[in-house]
A = this chain, B = another copy of it.
Amino acid sequence: MENKNAKKSEHKCSLKDVLDIIGGKWAMPIIYILSKGKMRFKELERSIEGINTRMLVKELKNMEANGILTREIFATVPPTVEYTLTEKGKKLLPSIESLYKWGQEFIA
């Protein structure tokens, strides 16, 4: 069982619960990239420096399971799959952009 339980249904939702979802190494970078609009798998892989196939797949699945993004498949040859932020996902953007700006300001 490599996959993360899509939130084990308690009703507390602390900061820790949020971080369980988007606290991984790649989640926020992915969301940040996707804020510019829908993207294909390969585009994402190229846009996010340092990530590899396995981690990208894994994070995308997690975020899909958590309703942060959607996955659309097009039966083309070769196959096309597009990822898009949901409204829920988009509402994470202010936080993430804010973190990013903090970095710009405080990390030389």
Contact = CB atoms under 8 A, between A and B. Distances in A.
B99 A95 contact: yes
A13 B95 contact: no
Interface bracket on A? 35 or more
A67 B29 CA distance: 24
Q: Which residue, A17, A67, A105, A107, has most C-beta atoms of chain B within 10 A?
A: A107
Q: How many copies does the complex hold?
A: 2
Q: Which residue, A9, A92, A103, A104, has most C-beta atoms of chain B within 10 A?
A: A103
Contact of A15 (B14, B91, B100): B100
A16 B16 CA distance: 19
Nearest to A48: B16
Contacts of A29: 14-16, 19
A98 B22 CA distance: 13
Interface of A: 7, 9, 11, 13-19, 21-23, 25, 28-29, 32, 50, 67, 88, 91-92, 94-96, 98-100, 102-108
The 6 closest A-B pairs by CB, nearest first: A18-B103, A95-B98, A13-B107, A13-B103, A95-B99, A15-B100
